[in-house]
Chain A
Amino acid sequence: MPEDSSTQKAVREEHIRDAVIRLAGNSQDGIQSIGGFLARLAGRSAQEVMTYMTIPATISGGPSIFQVRMGTGEVLSAGDEADFLLAFYQHSYENHIGFLKEGGVLLYDSDHVEPDENDNRFVKVGVPISALTVEALGGSSREKGKNLFALGLLARIFKLDVAKLREIFKERFGSKAEDVLRNVNLAFDAGFSYPIDNVLDRYYNFQQEGEYEGPQQVTMDGNTALTLGLIAGGVRHGAGYPITPWSTIMEMLRQQLPKYNGVFVQAEDELAAAAMAIGFSYAGHLAVTGSSGPGISLKMESLGWATMAEIPLVVVNIQRGGPSTGLPTNVEQSDLLQAIYGSHGDCPRVVIAAQNVEDCFYSAREACEIARKYSVPVFVLSDMSLASRIEAFDEPDLEALMIEPTLDTEDRSADFKPYDLERITRHAPPGAWIEGGVFPQVTGLEHDESGHPSANPQMHAKMMRKRREKIQKLADELPASQIYGDEEGEVLVVGWGSTWGPIRETVIRERDRGRRVGHLQIRHLNPLPNDLGEIFARFEKILVVEMNDEGLYGQGQLATLLRARYCNPAIQSLCKTDGLTFKIKEIMRGVEAVSPSHAPSK
């Protein structure tokens, strides 16, 4: 691009459907907050938004990125390639330029970045971001605020709604010292008033589909949505131990629950956290514990007890790359089999997986309902990518969804038995008087109906069946599976958890090019819905897409389960463990591999 400002050109306005903007810098630069502002702005506009971020595993500093995809119409994934790259440092430029699509715009801090002069694939726009921020804020050499300067630039380039942005600043910084908000606005204004049209010959404008008239939108990340789902589900007690990426849930619960007459305890370790949560539940308050990979392993003995003693409990696993300490800040879906089978013995429990940020709220709430109704531990699986990703979604209708917790210490009749073989266990918590004057025992030993130890093999078989059958009953009550796209045809793409977005976008593209493809995202993983076999029979191939290893026998974890249950050789597996979310083109390649298209693609 000519840097000579004397060559005046007419500034064009270009209408776009969506844009992927990647911001690359260091973790202390406040890149996440620019991303957060953009996401919140989109949530308040007619635009859809999805973000993607990485945080370094190091304690402070280190490279960090935040990616925002904003657009008109449904935004389903964070995008395979960026239209815009904003690079704060040379390493940001070097590490991420490969992600910028040809013809895309490279916006860089010319105080720190020297792009390759010979590379003419991109529109290169250098702005002395550091120096101008320091100038705007009056001499602080610490360059703090350059994130807001950059946001000002973006607001100008994308014709963002500045009034709404200022409202968001005010909400975020209004409660702090007066000069904080002033500095925020100064830095933003400096960026916004930079004569960017001297170096960039067009503005971008998101196509408007009229003013947004749907339900009120809220904008948050997956861990926040999950936490609020637990509160809506009536959880007021819990215990945890810090581990990435679960920690933000426990932090929020610790801060929020006292307002709701509740308690969240930071326990001395994962073992204690699980035991304490079970203690709360035994005392009559449905409780939560949670963690990520390594911490979940430590909880397994207690969780087995909760199945055996039939205690309701919600267990959250924000999955990360494993095994062992693994990749603490990367995404993976390799804890499915652990969630289902990770405790010793035949230990049935419920596992559900959230498919996007909005569903983090609904899955958590549903887990609370199931745990109470079936008196059983329920796993909610989320993952690193959902944990920190920000999305906008319809504000939940609390009038319909709020579950008020109750403590049931009503008297029980003389025939009360904690482990009645004729019905699903509903415990009498301490404080409840039993008319017969015989109090219940709750235990991890195999027991009779009163909870007293029994090593009678027939009793063991009966109790085993009791614990299994209630989970099978849940399967009978699950809603019918929803297929998107073709109800029958060439390929059914099956996923679970956060692969929902990329799979949906893949299926849309495949159908656009004339292929008969459907999408089924399985939310209930244990028990599985009863209608899957009949659905699978309607497709030539079933491609199960998951972010885990293909294992010893060539199938991912869900694919293994589905093959075992349906003995259907049409079930094929697409796995990966590169620590990143699926790209659309990766899934499209997977579809092509199991079902080659006859017609040339457009």
Chain B
Amino acid sequence: MSTTSTPVKAERGVLTKKGLQADHPTWCPGCGDFAVLAAYYKTLEKLDLPQQNIVTLAGIGCSSRFPYFVNTHGGHFIHGRSLPFASGVSLGRDDLHVFVFGGDGDGFSIGGNHLDHAGRKNFNLTYVIMDNFVYGLTKKQTSPTSPQGFKSKTDPWGAFDRPTNPMRKILSSGATFVARTHATQIKHMMEMYERAAKHEGFSVIEVLSECVEFNKGSFDEAIPRKGGKFEIIDETEHDVSDMPAALALAEEQWPGRFGVYYEAKNEPTKNKLERDLIEASREKVGHKSDKALLAQTFASMR
């Protein structure tokens, strides 16, 4: 249940962390998602967008409670379909800044097909996949990114299906900005969010966000203070416009590298292509009023 504390009023034109906060998050203590949320607040503050034009959307999962914790226009849609829902919002309104949050179930399993097509069509929006390698909301079933050998309630003997390679999947979707980050690295997360938000097109970020309840310690190998390695991509060596190089990064051994894998700067968005189509069509019909256009169609059917 939500704790409906009296939210602090947001002031028009002044975007503050306090003004962005809404319900207190329902996540378990220690969940990586708190940091993902904190980095989102900070990034929005830094971007200083008109608050009423920010839209925070989500599908279903622990992570997808996100919109209730953010004081922006928000929508909590159904499992797996947050991307087509968000695509409609984005395509319908060029004045909005659309952010979608979800988990590995939403992104790689029940909604996997939508990731491929949102990528192919290059909708102008940002999609953050909070990947914890487990179904947490339903209490520990194998997820599409659970590693082989992972013991869950649906695979008590250890999962044997091969996991999805998240970065390869996102890259092959055709997304025009693809990055990877980690919930324990707030600054890095913020940098990735900011670049994704400023990218014109479909930007996707995989954030490793640990589920302390059902998959504790799963990301230790990428956490320096736990003896792991957080290796950031050196963009003087990795050309982010080079897809084969990005795919090679995706094939690296766990825990792999973090940062921007790929960015295509000049790929037109579907938003732009549809807008161009509208302009060309309006031009062709002489910018007639809707009523005049429809009347003309009826006249052709006399």
Contact = CB atoms under 8 A, between A and B. Distances in A.
Interface stretch (A188-196, A260-268, A590-598): A260-268
B2 interface: yes
A17 to B, nearest CB: 24
A203 interface: no
Contacts of B114: 268, 271-272
A311 to B, nearest CB: 9
24 contacts: A256-B297, A268-B84, A272-B84, A272-B113, A279-B87, A279-B89, A280-B92, A281-B88, A282-B75, A283-B89, A284-B92, A302-B81, A396-B298, A429-B93, A430-B55, A434-B52, A437-B71, A438-B7, A438-B71, A439-B51, A439-B52, A441-B68, A441-B75, A452-B68
B298 A259 contact: no
A276 B87 contact: yes
Nearest to A433: B52
Interface string B280-291: 111011000011
B92 A263 contact: yes
Contact of A282 (B10, B88, B284): B88
A218 B298 contact: yes
A506 to B, nearest CB: 30
Interface centre among B19, B81, B86 (most CB of A within 10 A): B81
Interface in A417-439: 428-434, 436-439
B302 A275 contact: no
B298 A305 contact: no
A399 B290 CA distance: 11
Interface string B113-129: 11011000000000000
B91 A430 contact: no
Interface stretch (A1-9, A23-31, A96-104, A443-451): A443-451
A280 B81 CA distance: 14
Interface in B5-61: 7-12, 19, 22-23, 51-55
Interface string A231-251: 110000101000000000000
Q: How large is the interface on A (under 10, 10 to 19, 20 to 34, 35 or more residues)?
A: 35 or more
A380 interface: no
B248 interface: no
Contacts of A237: 88, 91-92
Contact of B278 (A261, A267, A395): A261
B89 A282 contact: yes
Interface in B101-154: 113-114, 116-117
Interface in A372-404: 395-396, 398-399, 402, 404
A283 B76 contact: no
Contact of B52 (A217, A263, A279, A431): A431
A453 interface: yes
B239 interface: no
A263 B278 contact: yes
A454 B86 CA distance: 24
Nearest to A414: B9
Interface centre among B19, B76, B81, B88 (most CB of A within 10 A): B88
Given A218-B301, A443-B75, A228 B294 contact: yes
Interface string A277-303: 111111111010000000000000110
A282 B87 CA distance: 11
B84 A402 contact: no
A256 to B, nearest CB: 8
A33 interface: no
B85 interface: yes
A258 B277 contact: yes
Contacts of A454: 1-2
Nearest to A445: B76
A442 interface: yes
Contacts of A271: 80-81, 84, 114
A275 B9 contact: no
A432 B52 contact: yes
Contact of B9 (A395, A436, A443): A436
A95 interface: no
Contacts of B82: 275
Contacts of B214: none
B78 A267 contact: no
Nearest to B79: A301
A220 interface: yes
Contacts of B71: 437-439
Given A438-B9, A454-B1, A259 B282 contact: yes
Nearest to B291: A402
B209 interface: no
Interface string A468-500: 000000000000000000000000000000000
B68 A437 contact: no
Contacts of A453: 1-2, 68
A430 B290 CA distance: 25
Nearest to A271: B81
B96 interface: yes
A272 B84 CA distance: 5
A43 to B, nearest CB: 7
A439 B22 CA distance: 9
A49 to B, nearest CB: 13
Contact of A430 (B8, B9, B93): B93
A260 B279 CA distance: 10
A278 to B, nearest CB: 6
Contacts of B176: none
B88 A277 contact: yes
Contacts of A305: 77-78
Interface centre among A274, A276, A396, A456 (most CB of B within 10 A): A276
Given A259-B285, A272-B84, A302-B81, 9 more contacts: A258-B282, A276-B84, A283-B88, A287-B92, A404-B291, A431-B52, A432-B73, A438-B71, A448-B2
Given A239-B88, A398-B295, A444 B73 contact: no
B163 interface: no
A199 B284 CA distance: 52
Given A43-B302, A434-B52, A267 B84 contact: yes
B242 interface: no
A214 to B, nearest CB: 13
A443 B23 CA distance: 14
Nearest to A263: B274
A220 B298 CA distance: 9
Contacts of A456: 1
Contacts of A265: 87-88, 91
Closest CB pairs A-B (n = 8)? A279-B88, A437-B10, A437-B9, A272-B84, A275-B84, A283-B92, A258-B281, A430-B73
B302 A395 contact: yes
Interface string A126-157: 00000000000000000000000000000000
